[in-house]
Structure 1
Amino acid sequence: MRTLLAAWLLAWACGSVAQSFSTDVPGVEESMLAPAYWLAGASDGVRLSPARLAQWNARNLADDPYLMDPLALGDALSGTQLARWLSGVSSKAGSPRFFRTGEAVTEADWARWQSAARAEQLPAKIPVRFGLVVTRAALRSFPTDEKIYKAAGDWDLDRFQESGVFPGEAVALLHESADGHWWFVRHYHYAAWIRKSAVAEASREQVAAFVNAPDRLMITGAQVHTNFNPEEPRSSRVLLDMGVSLPRLRAAEVGHSVNGQNPYASHIVQLPVRNADGSLALVPTLIARSQDVQAGALPLTEANILRQSFKFLGERYGWGHDYYGRDCTGFVGEVYRSMGLLMPRNSGQQGRSKFAPGVWLDGRSRDEKLAAIAQLRIGDLIYIPGHVMLYIGEVKGEPYVIHDVTGLSYFTGNAAGEQSLYTGTLSGVSVTPLKPLRLNEQQDFIDAIYAIKTISE
């Protein structure tokens, strides 16, 4: 026994306990799953300066139909506009839906949810109130936590899950649910329902002062936490996703003890929390310097795009930011937000809007699409219906992408030369080649590409 234990300890200490790499993803070697593999072909040149990024965001928030600054809303909103936003999410599905039990959603269920949304009880003018998000939370189609699905076994896609919001984000509070527990809110890239417990109400001026504070700490890791503390539970171990940005404070302002801890080895941030009456409080909170954060946004470079993307590699797919993860657009959105860029929420909105320059390939020939792919730059976004991929480089003429994706399909052959469609699963942030992947037997990803966007001057 001692001999076996000694041998195991020696092997562990020397790092010689090897595991063979096996995958059903075509064209992928283990070395490709590290950012270093791709960084050799990346540039550290800045594509957009902070000043130009600010101009991009301001232009898109003003002009893009899928983006808006909630603080730009007036003191009142027309009932007609609110009805449009409500109908955009709080509508009955056009095809059958099911509960996790397999039981079908009935007309009575839809009537119950529509009654909770009170969409038929809108005055001509709605006063606009404001708030800050205080915890990672879901934006929902209806004011309910009930989950519904398209089909049995389709558990990754809760069809009431619309998106996610994160601490420190501004929202306009527009409408309340029948039970008083939910707000219908306008976020910068979405309008949907959120639990009131996730939002602290404040004046427009308070919210603007918070989101516009110039000295900020950017979350550059996939996810980090505020430091644990036993004195202020509202600020203890708060989850912060990549792209979250919070105002920084100094020890000279708050002293040398924050929630019972000396702040010198941590960053001090101003964190929004919710009082018992629903109002906003801003509390000094610590984030350890050892966590993956930095002062201000990262420079927008090819190398940073790769480094940030690979921080999510292997994370479970989360439709609409479900499962504490993210989906394909959440993934690329968080990567670019850590460098200061805001994007529309859904892939179709991103692909078809003018938030970034690009090449429109809808209706083009396969040769034209392949010619456009040959011109790809690291970080370019490739759009097919319902999905977006981020280009990371080429290997022996094959373009590769990193994307948050559910399915895996490609043709495989046998010894007799016969081909059949292999269907597997990915359900996470994955590195794959582009050309072999298929939507079905008749159409591959290349056929389906309708747009490519470049985040650059």
Structure 2
Amino acid sequence: MILASREPRRHWPRRLTLALALGLLAVPVFTQAATPAPDPGAPLPYVIGLHEAYLTPDYWAARLDNADAPILDRAQIQAQNARMRAEDSHIQDIAALPAQLSATQVRDSIGALSSWPKRALYDEKGQAIAPGLRTAIEANLDLDAVPAQVAPSYGLVVKRAALRTFPTRQRVFSTVGDTDIDRFQESALFPGDKVAVVHRSADDRWLFVHSERYSAWIEADAVASGDKATVLGYGAKGPYRIVTGATAHTAYTPEEPRVSRLQLDMGVRLPVLADWPAAEPVNGQQAHASWVVQLPVREADGRLRLVPALLPRSQDTAADYLPLTPRLLLQQSFKFLGERYGWGHDYDTRDCSGFVSEIYRSFGVLLPRNTSAQAISPALDRLPFTSKDSKAVRDRAVTDLQVGDLVYIPGHVMMAIGHVDGRTWVIHDTAGGSWFGADGKRVQAHLNGVSVTPLEPMMASDSVRYIDRITNIQRLRAKNP
């Protein structure tokens, strides 16, 4: 679909001003504080315009008049998520899958993902992927074995696990020497995530699964199979612990290695066994300094079992999703600062779209997985751009960005954090980045992690700015009938 050029009346500030005048919007307009600006601290080398204080969330929160005003309250977030599930085709309701799927439906789902790239692919040693290896990987899809009717089975993910394009651990790359971006790496699922299994690989080591936000291949040993009601009912009732740190870990336990030092990523929600007897140890350790949570494990036969585990109180967790305010958005995003970039959640970290979706997940907000889907989601307050939009229109939209706004260019997303001295600043999980140095030459930075940068100087080439490439800006705000 080709988007028409926007009319001036669709520009956000006018729209928001009108809505506020009519008393229809609860969301506040974020304005710069009238109090003196905080000290930016010492300038830092290399990244253009960066100062020491810019690397702290408190600096940006102190510049706001309304850092603690709710953007959306809990009821509005629930309504937002309901809208996301109803309106965005990238969000899947696995509970609504029919009892039987046709072979064509299953093959089409797999074929939509597992299509061999047209570009040349190389292994970690820079050798081209041999035709025989390609044949073996494609044969492992085992599409001819799909029966005429497939009854989906259900399971819970028991450990952080990769979602892959093909049922293989083989890493492949499109550029010799660049082994950071594995083209078969799609995403990841986390402990407690719910999946519907619709197919197995020929070697029986991989499952093709549907989850709420993605369909892909996952290693079979990462999924425990259970009846539909148990799987879909897991964690349906509180109390809970929500992971609010970049990551948290369960306590070490030799008695139950399956839940020992288990990585839990931001936004993961675990049910708490609140009635656990105070005097009864959990896996050899008394529980007074921890939360007793319930986690899924996989038995030797692949079946699901729910077991207690200890989540130390020292870990960064909360009893409920965080209130969605500018201050807390800043705090949550900066908890990832400096984390290595992980394409498709590789390296046990995350990429740009995973970064923003996991920040928002700690507030209970559901977003699609990939930038291409997030950027056009009809469930958000979208401001689209086309080639017809002038530099002035784009610059004005950047100037009007608010904390938490998501800025999309092809293949990348950034989150706005504030404005300083005529520049708009973003935090983003980025593999690269470039800008012009003092000598007039373009600096090709290898940031390769969660970084804070100004938006205006960022260049996509010698003549094209990031701002010139913006395709969409997405904002969360209250919507009214």
Query: TM-score with structure 2 length normalisation?
Result: 0.87
Superposition pairs of residues 250-329 of structure 1, within 5 angstroms? 250-252=274-276, 256-329=280-353
Return the letter of the residue paired with 2:105: Q
> Match for 1:235 among 259, 281, 285?
259
Query: Could you tell me how far apart the structure 2 residues matched to 1:39 and 1:45 are?
Result: 11
> Match for 1:134 among 158, 173, 185?
158
Kept in 2: contact 1:251–1:263 (CA 8 A): no
Q: Secondary structure of 1:402's match?
A: strand
Which piece of structure 1 moves more, 436-445 or 387-396?
Answer: 436-445
Kept in 2: contact 1:116–1:178 (CA 8 A): yes
Matched, 1:26 2:51: no
Query: Could you tell me how far apart the structure 2 residues matched to 1:269 and 1:23 are?
Result: 45
Q: Which residue of 2 aligns with 1:188?
A: 212
Q: Which residue of 1 aligns with 2:227?
A: 203
Q: Which residue of 1 aligns with 2:10?
A: none
> Match for 1:432 among 448, 453, 466?
453
Query: Could you tell me how far apart the structure 2 residues matched to 1:45 and 1:122 are?
Result: 53
Query: Could you tell me how far apart the structure 2 residues matched to 1:299 and 1:68 are?
Result: 26
Query: Could you tell me how far apart the structure 1 residues matched to 2:149 and 2:77 are?
Result: 35
Query: Could you tell me how far apart the structure 1 residues matched to 2:211 and 2:204 are?
Result: 20
Q: Secondary structure of 1:117's match?
A: coil
Q: Following TM superposition, by how much is the alpha carbon of 1:118 offset from its aligned partner in structure 2, in angstroms?
A: 1.5
Which piece of structure 1 moves more, 256-265 or 292-301?
Answer: 256-265
Residue by residue over 1:147-199, the C-alpha shift from the partner in whole angstroms, topping out at 9 and shown as x without a partner, is 00001121110111000110011011110000001100011111110001111
Q: Which residue of 2 aligns with 1:109?
A: 133
Residue by residue over 1:30-66, the C-alpha shift from the partner in whole angstroms, topping out at 9 and shown as x without a partner, is 1111111111134212222222222222332233111
Matched, 1:420 2:441: yes
Residue by residue over 1:195-228, the C-alpha shift from the partner in whole angstroms, topping out at 9 and shown as x without a partner, is 0111111111001211422321100001111011
Kept in 2: contact 1:256–1:264 (CA 8 A): no
Give the strand-richer structure, 1 or 2.
1
Return the letter of the residue paired with 1:401: V
Q: Which residue of 2 aligns with 1:357?
A: 381
Q: Following TM superposition, by how much is the alpha carbon of 1:124 offset from its aligned partner in structure 2, in angstroms?
A: 3.2
Query: Could you tell me how far apart the structure 2 residues matched to 1:81 and 1:447 are?
Result: 40
Return the letter of the residue paired with 2:168: T
Q: Which residue of 1 aligns with 2:392?
A: 367
Q: Which residue of 2 aligns with 1:225?
A: 249
Kept in 2: contact 1:169–1:211 (CA 8 A): no
Deviating 4+ runs (over 3 angstroms) = 251-256
Query: Could you tell me how far apart the structure 2 residues matched to 1:274 and 1:440 are?
Result: 49
Query: Could you tell me how far apart the structure 1 residues matched to 2:198 and 2:338 are?
Result: 37
Kept in 2: contact 1:116–1:143 (CA 8 A): yes
Query: Could you tell me how far apart the structure 1 residues matched to 2:266 and 2:199 are?
Result: 29
Kept in 1: contact 2:87–2:378 (CA 8 A): no
Q: Which residue of 1 aligns with 2:469?
A: 448
Kept in 2: contact 1:183–1:195 (CA 8 A): yes
Kept in 2: contact 1:343–1:355 (CA 8 A): no
Matched, 1:158 2:182: yes
Query: Could you tell me how far apart the structure 1 residues matched to 2:245 and 2:350 are?
Result: 14
Return the letter of the residue paired with 2:469: A
Query: Could you tell me how far apart the structure 1 residues matched to 2:401 and 2:295 are?
Result: 40
Q: Following TM superposition, by how much is the alpha carbon of 1:251 offset from its aligned partner in structure 2, in angstroms?
A: 4.1
Structure 1 unmatched ranges of 5 or more:
1-19
Q: Secondary structure of 1:249's match?
A: coil
Which piece of structure 1 moves more, 52-61 or 368-377?
Answer: 52-61
Kept in 2: contact 1:62–1:68 (CA 8 A): no
* Cα-Cα RMSD: 1.5
Q: Which residue of 2 aligns with 1:84?
A: 108
Q: Secondary structure of 2:446's match?
A: strand
Kept in 1: contact 2:54–2:60 (CA 8 A): yes
Query: Could you tell me how far apart the structure 1 residues matched to 2:238 and 2:391 are?
Result: 47
Kept in 1: contact 2:414–2:428 (CA 8 A): yes
Query: Could you tell me how far apart the structure 2 residues matched to 1:124 and 1:366 are?
Result: 55
Return the letter of the residue paired with 1:153: G
Query: Could you tell me how far apart the structure 2 residues matched to 1:413 and 1:56 are?
Result: 45
Matched, 1:386 2:411: yes
Kept in 2: contact 1:132–1:280 (CA 8 A): yes
How many pairs align? 434
Query: Could you tell me how far apart the structure 1 residues matched to 2:386 and 2:316 are?
Result: 40
> Match for 1:176 among 192, 200, 221?
200
Which piece of structure 1 moves more, 360-369 or 157-166?
Answer: 360-369
Kept in 1: contact 2:278–2:287 (CA 8 A): no
Q: Secondary structure of 1:407's match?
A: coil
Residue by residue over 1:365-391, the C-alpha shift from the partner in whole angstroms, topping out at 9 and shown as x without a partner, is 111111111221100000000000000
Which piece of structure 1 moves more, 298-307 or 53-62?
Answer: 53-62
> Match for 1:57 among 81, 86, 93?
81
Which piece of structure 1 moves more, 322-331 or 31-40?
Answer: 31-40
Query: Could you tell me how far apart the structure 2 residues matched to 1:188 and 1:313 are?
Result: 27
Query: TM-score with structure 1 length normalisation?
Result: 0.92
Kept in 1: contact 2:323–2:363 (CA 8 A): yes
Kept in 1: contact 2:156–2:191 (CA 8 A): yes
Identity in percent: 44
Q: Which residue of 1 aligns with 2:367?
A: 343
Kept in 1: contact 2:156–2:195 (CA 8 A): yes
Matched, 1:35 2:57: yes
